[in-house]
Structures are given as C-alpha cells and as structure tokens.
Structure 1
Amino acid sequence: MPDTTPLLLRHHRPFLSFWLARIFTASGFQMLSVAIGWNLYQLTGNVLDLGLVGLVQFAPRLLFMLHTGHVADRYDRRWVSALCQALQALIALSLAIGGATDHVSREMIFILAFLLGASRAFEMPTTQALLPSIVPTALFPRAVAAAQSAQQLATIVAPAVGGLLYALGSVWVYGPTVALYVIACLLMLNLPARQTTLNKGKATLDSLLAGIRFIRSRPDILGAISLDLFAVLLGGATALLPVFAKDILLTGAWGLGLLRSAPAVGALLMSLWLARFPVERKVGRTMFSAVGIFGVATIAFGLSTSFWFSLAVLMVLGAADMISMVIRGSFVQLETPDEMRGRVSAVNGLFIGASNQLGEFESGLTAHWFGTVPAVVLGGIGTLAITGTWMKLFPTLARRDHMHEAPHPSAEATEPARVA
C-alpha cells in the first residue's frame, strides 16, 4: 500500500496549514504545562497543588461541554479555533509579564489555568470536527495519524525546550509561547471556508443534548470513549512527573522536560507507522490490547528508580496510547454526520479532558494519600482492570473488525432514537 501521508503534506495545502497549526498550538501548550507545573511546585512545594491545577483546567470542559459542541456546529470552525488560540496567547503573555515583574502567584496560576482550560474546551471539539472537512474520506484515518504525529512531534521537542528555557527564567518559556499561539492562529485562518451547511438552529437544550443522545445510541462509540476516560483517568501519571524528576529520579527541570517528552517520542514513532500502515482489521482487539499495554507500562514506570528505564517505559506507554487514540478518533468521526461532529466531539473532548486533567487531580490526590509510587502502580492496575471489564461490557467493540462498518442515518434521523 503506498504511503499517502507525504502526499497529504506536500500537495494538500489546507491539511498542511492544519498540520502546522497543530504543531504550534501543541508546542505552546506543552511549554506552558512544563513551566506552570514547575513554577507552581517551586512556589508551594505541595504535590496536591499539581493535582488541583489539573482539576481547574478540567472544570471548563464540564461547565461548557454542551455549548462548546453547539458553537463548533453553528459557527465557522476556523474562526472559533483561531479565537481560542488567541486567548491562549494572551494567557501566555500574562504569565510572561508576571514572571518579568515577579508577580506570579499560586492564585494567578489557578485563574489562568481555568482560562486555559476554557479556551481548550472550545478549541478541541472544533478542530476535531474541522479535520474531516479538509481531507478526503478515504484518507481520513491516515490524516488522523498524521495530525497526531504533528502534535506528538511538538510534544517531544517543546517540553524539553521548555525545561531548558525555564532554567534561564520563567519569562524565557512564557515569552516564546505567545509567538507560537499567534502563528497557529494565523495558520488556522488560512484554511478554506467550510463548504458544508452550518447548523443555524437555536441553542436549545434538545439540540445541545443531541451529541449525548447520538453517542448513547452507538454502543461502540460509547465504549471506546468511556474506555479512554477510565483507563487514562486511573493510569495517567503526568501530573506527578515533577515529583519523579525532583525526588525519585533526582533530575532537575531538564529531566522533567525529557520525561514529559518520552511518551510523545513513542507516540510519534507509532503515529508515523500508522500513517503508512493504518489498522484496517481487528480494530477492536487492537485497541484493547493497546490500552492493556498502557497499563503495564504505567506500573513499570511507577516502580522504576532508573531515569533511562523510566524514559523507555514512557515511550512504550506513549506508543500504546497512540494506537488507541488513532483507532478511536478515526471511527468516531467517520460514523458521525458532519452536522453533528461538533457536539459529538464536545462529549468526546469531555471524556478526554476527564482522563487527562481530572486524571491529574486523581494522581495528585492518591499520591497525597498513599505516596507517589503506590499511586502510580495502583493506577496501572486499575487500567488493566478497566480493560478487562470493558471487553465484557462492550463485546461488539471488542469484536469490531473495521473502522467504518456501515453508514448511519443523518443526525436528524437519529434524533428520535433516545436510549432510556
């Protein structure tokens, strides 16, 4: 099978703009995350605060979930994404000014973390729903893998750069992120106008809940996104990386940057493989196997006292997560009508946000109760338990063979099909 990913990047200009925008946005967010985590831990020395900042970033996803999807389906998705990136640039600018004047406080970090979470809550479903409209359907799974490779490429480089720059002072991290977000904003506006019909209906409760009803009527979609929610919620250890870097593996900010980059290295290599050799058969079994490997790698990381072994298992963790992410992202978008993609992506974004930001809070809380290492090991065990349970609860997902098995009716036709 020929590799069409280079063709997408070289000859499909809208996708190239989208791909570059994802690189710059992901780079800005990763550099902000490293700086905020290290800055906050320096200010307070409290591991619970590292979990709280994740909870603060997650809260907007829950508060605005219904509205984010409706905005993505009603308004020009290019402009929604660009405005979200502009807001994130202003957040980075505020932190840069605060760092330059030595006025960054715990309270300020939490307030800006909430605004960062709010902007990303609107950005995520919008960009997810935008991608299917700029690439041919036949190339969509490859485009998902290629888009993920862009994000992972940024995730590899940006945290390490952020950690190194932070050693020179926080302003050296916050300042460049402003430029990264501005460039991403301009690239997003460079995309062609959306060709499909926008949803001009009013933001009624019925229309806002349409995405939830659609997901509940599709057991495979519900099983896939809920698997990600609970598996990563329990198995995620990202929020505790500053503790591992400083107190267990005995490295500094540079080590934290490398630890944050390691999962992305594995994810990038896997995304490049999937872009050339997409998963076309036994997608359900492959996805569950990948989540199980994620859990085993989490346990290995928690027990490790070697910096280099920790980097290796984090790479395996990232590669396994990428397999699950590409499979889930591809078939969820392919089986959702375009006029519903914003609202479905908003619900999916809530699950992803819960697994990441809420997972950071869970990690910080369990580390506060039981200790850092036991918290990570127990989380990995929980991921394995969830994987086995979900295979029993969603047998059709476990047996699923193809990404897109059959076309579904339009959103309007699926509206009355409500699951009690």
Structure 2
Amino acid sequence: MFDNSIKAYTQACEVIPGGVDSPVRAFKSVGGTPPFITKGKGAYIYDVDDNKYLDFVQSWGPLIFGHCDSDVEEAVIKTVKNGLSFGAPTELETQLAQEIVDMYDYIDKVRFVSSGTEATMSAIRLARGVTQKNDILKFEGCYHGHSDSLLVQAGSGLATFGTPSSPGVPADLTKHTLVCEYNNIENLKKCFEDSNDIACIIIEPIAGNMGLVPATEEFLSACRELCDKNGALLIYDEVMTGFRVSLTGASGIVAAKPDIITFGKVIGAGMPVGAFASSCEIMNYLSPDGAVYQAGTLSGNPVAMTAGLTNLRKLKANPNVYTELNNKALRLVNGLKEVASANNIPLQVNTRGSMFGFFFCEEQPFNIKQVAKCDFDRFAKFHHEMLKKGFYFACSQYEAGFISTVMTNDDIDECISAASEVMKSL
C-alpha cells in the first residue's frame, strides 16, 4: 500500500536530513512512513502509490479553495509567462497590500517577505526599533518560526527568561526572550514585573501549533492592557489564522486588537509568502523610510503576489464562505466526538472558522502543559488507521487541521464513518 513511498523516503534520507525539508513531515510523532505526494486536486491529494486521501492539512492552511483552484491556477500561469522574479517593484505588490489594508481600520502599510519566519522575525525587530527596548515575551506552545531568539524553552520558574531549545542557538540570543504560560494572566503579569525592558508580546491569538487552542478574551485583553501600560507593542502572529478563521483573521473575532499583525499562508494561496503590517506611525520606522533594516531578494515575488491576490479577492467576494466552512468543521469534530463517546473514548474538540482540533483527553486543554497530558499514543494509532482508510490528518497532536470549500458534507460523513470503525480498535 505504501511501497513506493517507503522507497522514496529511503532515497530522500540519503540526500536530505531526515528525508524531509520540514521536521513534522517525517511522521516521527505518529510513526510509519510519510506518503510522498504527487498531486492534489480539490479536496484530495494523491501519493506515489496511487493512494487517494481526503486532505485535512491543505498545505497547512493556505488552500481554502482546495488544491488546483481554477481561478488561482489561471492567474498564476498567466503571471509565470511574464517571468518568475525580477528583484524589482511590481504593481502586484501594491494591489495585494491595498487589499489587506482595506480590510483593517488600524493597518496602513504592509511589507511582504517570503516566509512566516521572516515575518515574525522582522515584526519583532521593528517592535524593538520603535520602543527602543530589548526583551520580547512569548508563550509556551506558540510557534513563531525558527529564528534564533524564538527557539526557546521556559526555565524552572513561574516566569523566566528563555533558554535555547535547539543546539546551535547561543544563550546570548535568547536571554532577552521571556517565556510564560499561555492563558495564564498571573504568569503574564509576573513577566512584566520581572522586566521593565519588554519591547513586545508576540502571540498566536488562536494557537495552531499545540493543536487548536484559542486564547481567552480575558487573556488577550490582559496582553493589550499590559502592553499599553508598559510601552510595549502587541504582535498577533496570524501566519496561520490570517484570512483563515475569518475574513480578518483572529483579529476580526477577538476584542483586543494588536499593534502589528504577521501574515502568511493564505496570502500566498500555496506559494511561499509572508508579511507584516501595522499603522503608518510604526511602519515608517522601517527602511528605507526609517532606520530599522529589513530586506529580501524574493520579497513580493510576482507569482506569489498573484496567487495571494486572487485568493483574497475571491474570499472578499464570497464572505459567506466562512460560515459554510465553520459549519463543515463543526460537522466533522462533533461527529468525531460522537463516535468517540460511543466507544467510551474521551475526546475534546474545538473549531475556529475553518480550523479545527481534537485531543484524546478528559478535559479541554488551554495550554501546552495540558496538551502534553493527552493520549499521544491513541492519536498516533488513530492517525495511522485513518490514513490507511484514505483520510489525511495533520501528522502530530500538536498541529491543527483545516477545512476547504471543496470538501462536501458527504466527504465529512464518510470520514466520520471511517473514524467510527477506527475508534472501535482504540
């Protein structure tokens, strides 16, 4: 069933570290060999063994309209024929920036980059340049890319400065990173008591890197109030949630608003892209207008801009799509919870827009420590068996799932039916 993928993985391991170019793809969390994908069409992906899967990953979020959406495909092909990259300005950058700016009352300017890691790294540098402060505050379980100052783990205290969580990251580069517990207001307050040099808070307002774990309204309001009180900036990492959970992302469905937003995924529609955005007052600190330096040869790549522009315009023209997507996400997770309950298996579920998550545990988790107490072995077995039945879920309990418009209720019902069979063996 997976013979060709096993062969492809073995060959990849000879020339690529771990056989993959992003660690989660190696399936270490769930076991087995990752399917090697040859193509995607609509709600489905196909591997080198000609297996077909209903895809709940959707390239980790950007493919709201599914694989090979005809509108995006047509626009990209047209742009490709004019050239892949110029390293010079194009009107496409301005058009996409204008589409984004028009959606938000508190965003005036956008700077495009080529990845989410670049977006968050640049947003933090900008915040430090604006505030003239050094420390940053992040939360356990929130992932903001692999730049050195963000690869940290919490120390032993309640609120501590981070220590490197990866070899190759000097302690000197993480000593200005404070780490505290997600959804813990008292912990948050103590971080500000520990340092009067905090430039910014960076947070996933809806965390998608410890499963799907939304921040509470009270917690986000506390972030906003503490930033205002202490002269720090609030950064929402919406690389995953931007234009995914609503037309204006997480920022559009929570009360507390950020100073800076980072984007990615959806504004590339599957192409490599990221961005960060804020008010004129803050963005004018950025080079070439200001002294905070940031650059990138492929930033604003015309093919990526075209894909993102087509995707966003299509979303703006069809705002009801978010209600439909959320209904499908609810149909899926409620169905999974029902069949789990029928088999006396504790399952916690959650959705935000077209994002969903589920955990094999007794109580809904609100932070990474609670997620870590979930039954990862049961998740791995569930993932493996569902894969054999043709359903492709995120290959880690720490990742969220995604619904696309091209998924039908029948698709979801078939998934629930398969899950019912699998749950009996768990």
| Superposed pair shares fold, TM > 0.5 | no
Higher helix share: 1
TM-score (norm 1): 0.28
Determine which structure has greater relative contact order: mean sequence separation of CA pairs < 8 Å that are 6+ residues apart, divided by chain length: 1
TM-score (norm 2): 0.28
Task: Work out which of the two has the higher radius of gyration on C-alpha atoms and give 1 or 2.
Answer: 2
More strand per residue: 2
